[in-house]
Amino acid sequence: MQIITKSCRETHCHFCFNEVPADPLFCRSCTIPLYCSEHCLEQAVGCNFVRSNDFSNFQNNLSVELWKYATESISLYHSARENGGDLPEHTHECGGAHWPAVLPPDVVLAGRVMMKSIEKRKLSGGLDKNIETMDFSHSYNKIPPDHKLEMHLYALVLACCLRHYLPSLETSISKVRNFSSQFVLLISQIKVNSMAVVHMKSSDEPDLSKKSSDLSAIGNAFTSTVEQVRVGQAIYSRGSLFNHSCKPNVHAYFLSRTLHLRCTEHVPTWYPLELSYGPQIGELDHQERQKMLEDQYFFKCRCIACSELNLSDLVINSFRCSKPNCLGAILGRAYEKLEDDSWLVSAASYCSKLSLPVFQEHKMNICEVAHFLLEKDTLQKIGPGNCLSCCSSLDLSSSTSASNNSLSDICRLKDLILSFVAKDSLISDILISLGDLRSVKHAYSKVVAQAEDDVAETFAMIGQFAHAKKHCQASMEILEKLYHTKHITVAHEWIKLASIDFSLGNPADALCDIMRAEEIFSLYYGSHVAKIFPYIEHFKKEVEKIGFVAVR
């Protein structure tokens, strides 16, 4: 079962979740949900929708009462099958108060799940039986008291909203209590088992067909920002069975409202298939991932990425060692060595035991920034603010302040450069601020990668593509350290680099960049790459055409 998010109710189809055209279709009864096609309207509402001039004229010639009778007698029909798989999802939400647009999506989704269960029982003749709940965990006992109270209130409201479709609720207070308690359980199950339906959206997609084939005129960069748009919320009986990992081997993506799962690497026999519930290694550090998972899903992650020391967690938020030529990472955490050679990592409201990595390659990566953690005869404890390679100390407070100031300056200067005519002094200042940031933050930290990306975008927007390429490559090198070279985040960076190379008049390099990106995308989307990123194929053809003209 799926439900559209509130932010997309006016822009996306309420059934397939794709963007609606300029003339969308509405539910004829309540005119609230939008649909992109007659097929989606029929699937959601459960009626055969006919849109023609003759039908409209027929409506105009009838009174309101006769028109209502005609639509109920002729047009409307239930599309339920014996297995209940095609039950209309909007029927119980239609008419009366507009509660589906007001209540939270997970509450509305709970109503859909409940009504589908009831309709199935009607078809099987088992309406008097107790309503079955989903066979999912709910973690109700771990939910904070204030959230529990909120869930009980929403459950009562939902029971009242559905009372017209549940006649027993209108005559029995005990039935209301029974249904509301079942709604509470159902809402809690949806909170910890539902998935965000995400579509990829490319903003500022260029019209490459209008781009001149004259490579001497490269005033405009091919700039396109790809973002994930949360268009819906859904619960899948099979998809919810996958465990979480901060380093997943399964990628989940959506075409319309259909969930697709694809392995991104070779998985040995009997090895678990795991996907990410949100946080991943390289995106957040260990402490941030644990907090997010505990707050949203009420469990402590014990995946491989959260059980072993790894390079990404050591450098993603770290500071640079003050000693020249030392690449050691400095964090605001204490590392205490235990008898089994594992490390107890602690900070304010955070404590975790991490073992040494098994693979030699991972050890070599850690040795580069924290070789003290791998030595057998090392110190028993390294305090916060001490380098993990040379143990030199750093004032974390002043370094944090300097880092924040540099980041603020980069954002401010970027806005100034893009808002007005670029001045050499502003460009010089943004490079100085970037240097100041690099002097305090670790070379592999994520804020440095983001700053390099911002500077690259700034240079690209003012037409200085050679400088843009340099900083884009610097950002990509850091991201390859934080994630890995075949991660989907790196693929998006290859597309950025391809756009810069194309604007520089280097179609051969741009084509190579695109092919590197496609190789990674194919690991995550397989044959659906062209559907997820349609503009990439267009971009590739344009680059090939320009390259062919240049060769001739």
Neighbours of 76 (CB within 10 A): 17
Q: Cα 88 to the chain's mean position, in Å?
A: 28
What pLDDT shows up at residue 386?
A: 96
Beta-ladder partners of 308? 355
To which H or E segment does residue 344 belong?
strand 343-347
| Full DSSP string of 528-544 | GHHHH-HHHHHHHHHHH
Map residue 201 onto helix, strand or coil. Answer: strand
Radius of gyration of the chain (CA): 28
| Secondary structure class of 230 (helix, strand, coil) | strand
Q: Which amino acid is at 134?
A: M
User: What burial class does residue 25 get, using C-beta atoms within 10 Å of its C-beta: 0-12 exposed, 13-18 middle, 19+ buried?
Assistant: buried
What was the pLDDT predicted at 225? 58
Report how far apart the first and last C-alpha atoms of the chain are (Å, whole number): 55
How far is CA 109 from its chain centroid?
Answer: 20
Q: What is the pLDDT of residues 292-347, one digit of tens each?
A: 999 999 999 999 999 999 999 999 999 999 999 999 999 999 999 998 889 999 99
CB 406 within 8 A of CB 437: yes
Cα distances from 156 to residues 91, 111, 240, 419, 543, in angstroms, run 20, 12, 26, 52, 59
| Per-residue pLDDT at 67 | 61
pLDDT at 56: 53
The region that residue 61 occupies, defined by phi over 0 for left and psi between -120 and 50 for alpha, beta otherwise, is alpha
Q: What CATH superfamily classification does 437-551 receive?
A: Tetratricopeptide repeat domain (1.25.40.10)
CB atoms within 10 A of CB 152: 15
**244 DSSP β-pair partners:** 275
- Looking at residue 209, its pLDDT comes to 41
Nearest-angstrom CA–CA distance, 246 and 231: 23
Residue 525: the pLDDT is: 96
Q: How many residues does the chain have?
A: 552
Question: Residue 415 region, left (φ>0) first, then alpha (ψ -120 to 50), else beta?
Answer: alpha
Asked if 258 and 32 count as a contact pair (C-beta separation under 8 A), the reply is no
- Give pLDDT < 70 ranges for the chain: 47-62, 64-87, 95-97, 123-133, 166-176, 202-226, 378-379, 421-422, 548-552
H helix or E strand, kind and range, residue 401: helix 396-419
Q: Dump pLDDT digits (tens) for 41-81.
A: 988 987 544 443 445 555 566 676 666 655 555 444 444 44
Residue 307 near residue 368, CB atoms below 8 Å: no
Domains of the chain, residue spans: 1-101, 289-382, 437-551
E strands within 360-442? 381-382
Tokens matching residue 23: 């003339």
